[in-house]
Structure 1
Amino acid sequence: MYTWSRKNSVAETLRTKRDRAIFSQASQILDQQNAGKPDRVDRQPAADQPDQQRPVRRLGSTDEAVASATKRPPATDDVPPSSEYKRIQLPDVAYYRDADAHWIGARVPDHPTAHVNMIVNDPGKELHLGDQSSVEITDIYRGTLPRHGATELAARVLEHYGVRPSEKLIFRAVENESALVAHAIGLPASQTKLAQTGDRILGAIGLRARDWEFVVNKRGGLDIVGHIARSDSS
C-alpha cells in the first residue's frame, strides 16, 4: 500500500487546495481497496471489461475524477491494432491553420463546442506539413459529437494536412481531472482516458504507441506523451 512518506512526497507537488483534496480522497479509496492485500505492484490487474467511459471531457466533480482514475482500464496489450479501429461518420468539418503559430485544427459547425487544436512544429520554424517528429494536441473536445467523435476529428485533422508523428504524440498541459489524479497517486499514464484516446487516434492513421508516460513540462504543466512504435517493431 502507499506509505505516508509516499503520500506526503506526492502531496507536496500539488499546488492548490483543490488538487490536494482530490489526491487525499483518491489515496483513501486506494488504501481501502488495498486493505489486507499484497502491495499493488505485486498483484496482477483484474480482467475488467473495456472501459466504456467517455474519453475526452472535463469531469464535473472530485468524486467522478477519483472513480475514473482508480478504475482499472484494459491493459495496453488489449488495444486492437489499427486495422480493427472503426471510423465513424461526422457532419461537415471546417479545417484551419495558423502558419505563424504553427497550429492546425478543426471544428464542427453543427456542434459548436467540438474542436481540436494541434501544434505541428516549434514556433520560429517554417511550417512544414508532413512527417513530424512530434505532434502536440493542445485542445480536444468532443462536445455533442457521438462517442469517439473527438478521436475521429483529431484523426481527420492529421489526415487533412498529411501530418504523421514519427516519434511522439503529446497531450499538452493536461487539465483532465482523472489524469491529474492518476499522476498524483502513481498510476501509469497508459491507464488514463487521454492515453486511450491517443491510442485510437494513432490507430486511425495506421500508427500505434509503444508506451505512454507523464512528463512535467518546462512551465510546470503535466503532459501525457506517447512514444510512437516503429513500423518494423512487433
Structure 2
Amino acid sequence: MKDFKKIEIFCGTGGVGKTTISASRAFSLAADNKKVLLITIDPAKRLRQLLNLKDQSEIVEFKSEEISFDVLLLDCKSSFEKILGSKVDNKILENLTSSRGGLNEILAVLEIQTQINRNIYDAIVVDTAPGKNFLDFLNSSKKINRFFNKTFAEAFNYITNQNKPGRFFNRIISTGIEKFLSYLESVTGQGFINDFLEAISILYGNREKFIDGLSVEKTLNDPAHSRWYLVTSAEHMKE
C-alpha cells in the first residue's frame, strides 16, 4: 500500500503474525523514504527478538542495509518516570508500572500522544498487545476518566489537604475499619498506608498529564489520521 496514515495500529490475538506484519509495514514505509516510528506495547516484546534489539526503553534507530526507522519498546516504568520527570521510588507505583501491573495500556496511550506532539514522524506504527490486553488499550481513556473523576478528585484533595496525609488516616480510623487496615498492614508489611497515600498523591499531582493523553483518542478514531489492521487467522476468527 502506497497510501498511509499518521498512525497505523495492528491488533489481534496472539500467534497470528501481528508483530511480524507491523514490522514489515514499518520497513515498507521507511523504504518509501518516510520517517517512521515503530512502537510495541506488547509486554512480551516479541519485536525485540524479531529485530534483534537490546531490551531498552528509549527510542533507538534500526538499520537494515539502506532502510532505517526508529523503534520504541514500551517500558511502563520508564514511560511513567518520563511523565513524572523523576524516578519512581514507591512500592505500589513500582507494581503498577510493571509489565502486568495495570498501567501498561494507559501509559501506551500517553506515549503515543507524546510522539504525536513531537510531530517528527510521518507515520507511527503500533504493535499492540494480544487479546484482552488490546481491549484494555481501547478502554484506556475510560480508565483515565474514571480514575480522575470528581469523586476521586475530592478524595485526593482531602488526602493532600495542607500536606497532612495523617488527617486522612485518622479519618479512616474513626470510621470503624481500623481492624481491617491493621490486618492489611500485617499482610503487606508496615508502611503500606503511607505508600498508598504517596502513590495517590503522585498520580493526582500529575493529573493534567494523564488527562492530556485523552486527546489521542480523537486521533485514533479519526479515519483521516488513523488506520486499524486486524491481524487474524482462520483458527482465530471465532475470537
TM-score, with structure 1 as normaliser: 0.27
TM-score, with structure 2 as normaliser: 0.27
Higher helix share: 2
Q: Which has the higher contact order (CA 8 A, sep 6+)?
A: 2
Higher strand share: 1
- Larger Rg, first or second structure (1 or 2): 2
